[in-house]
Amino acid sequence: MRWLDRFTTAEQDSWLQVVKVAVAIAVAWFASRLLLEMELPIFAAIAALLVVAPSVNQSLAKGIGRSVGVIGGVLLAWLATLVLPSSSLVVLAVTLLAVVLARALRLAPMAANQLPISAMILLALGAGAGPLFGFERVVETVIGAAVALVINLVVVPPVHHEPAERTMRELAHAVADAYERAADALSSADAARGEGMLAQARELRAGIKRTRAAMDALEDSVRLNPRARLLRDRIARDERLLLTLTVLVNRVIGISRSIADRFDVGLVGDPTVRRIAAETRRIASEVRALVDRQALEDGRTATLPTVDGPRLTEPIPVPRPHPSHWVLIGALLEDVRQARESLEAGADAE
């Protein structure tokens, strides 16, 4: 049923992440019972549950944010017990005040949510227990957050490199396909061949955004991660590749726009246009070759796949501009030139 999609997700945490969360909760629970002699260390369990994150960097940020929220909520509840009587309306008023205070202080989401929750729970469960009760909740939360951080650091810290590389490879092949469509349009007298080509090229911008998000997730996962030094060079290389692909996307959008807006089927036989089409096809071939070489260097494949099509050649000479379509040809030549330079720079950086 479609409405169930609101409560489910296609992407789930790995079983390793689930085990880490469970272990963190159990260790935080028993550590709090041992150190604080508490029967129900709920704050420690909640802190462990929330702080075990997909990366060590996120885990540290969540631990700090949750601790700040708990400390703020405890202080607010403690001050309320000093000046206000114990009642349900006081609990409601302090909770609402905590929500407003979190917004006024511009707290991060974790701390902003934890501030009213801590104040409400403390007033509801610790009424009349004195300031020691609030102090114990702070210590309990710190124990849970510390346990979660240590477990996330020690037990195989996750590195999101494979999703980033997969997304990058998909984008590269989509870019190559766009250049091949442009080459086919320049080589065909069938005007219908170019229909929708510009829209397909523009869709590559969404691929750039997805790849950028995957790279951001990768870089976040290696911050404060012991395995970061092993991946530093690969991440730098992937960043260069993404920059190259971004330039290539902009250029193929320009080529597709020129073809969609100004191309005349009578230009199919023009020698310069034939060279532009051939060079555009070479760019597609080089993009695929580039990502295949990286896969070989990374050990993700044992053999270098055979790349169809010719390699990049010399720049295209234009001895005489076309008398009627020189603007179109000039625009195509400039887009091809910039694409060539970016691709060659990316290949030289390998």
Q: Name the one residue in this structure whose structure tokens are 């590389």.
A: 165
pLDDT at 52: 77
Could you tell me which of 254, 263, 247, 243 has the C-alpha nearest to residue 201?
A: 254
Q: What is the pLDDT of residues 186-203, one digit of tens each?
A: 877 554 455 678 888 889
**Per-residue model confidence (pLDDT) at position 72:** 82
More confident residue, 96 or 321: 96
pLDDT band at 302 (very low <50, low <70, confident <90, very high): very low
The tens digit of pLDDT for each residue in 151-185 reads 877 776 666 677 788 888 899 999 999 999 888 88
Q: What confidence score (pLDDT) does residue 237 get?
A: 84
Please tell me the predicted confidence (pLDDT) of residue 37: 80
Q: Output the pTM of the full model.
A: 0.65
296 or 135, which is more confident?
Answer: 135
Q: Give the separation between CA 239 and CA 216, rounded to whole angstroms.
A: 10
Q: Judge whether 134 and 43 are in contact, CB under 8 Å.
A: no
Instruction: List, for residues 97-138, the tens digit of each pLDDT value.
Output: 888 988 888 887 878 888 888 888 878 776 555 566 667 777
**Residues in CB range of 284: below 8 A, 6 or more apart:** 175, 176, 177, 178, 179, 180, 183, 309
Lowest-confidence segment of 210-219, 311-320, 328-337 by average pLDDT = 311-320
Q: Which pLDDT tens digit goes with each residue over 215-237?
A: 888 777 777 666 666 677 778 88
Q: What is the pLDDT of residues 64-102, one digit of tens each?
A: 777 778 778 878 887 887 777 777 788 888 889 888 988
All residues at 6 or more sequence positions from 50 whose CB lies less than 8 Å from its CB, including other chains: 62, 66, 110, 148
- pLDDT band at 208, cuts 50/70/90? very high
pLDDT at 5: 56
Residue-wise pLDDT tens digits, 25-59 = 899 999 988 888 877 888 888 878 877 766 666 66
Residue 175: predicted pLDDT: 93
pLDDT higher at 263 or 323: 263
Measured CA to CA in angstroms, residue 291 lies from 241, 249, 313 at distances of 9, 16, 19
Which residue type, as a one-letter code, is found at position 276? I
pLDDT for 224: 65
Q: Which residue has the higher pLDDT, 275 or 63?
A: 275
- What pLDDT sits at residue 210? 92
Mean pLDDT (the chain, rounded): 76
Closest CA to 147 of 40, 42, 37, 63: 63
* Measured distance CA(157)–CA(348) in Å, rounded: 33
pLDDT confidence bin for 214, thresholds 50/70/90 = confident
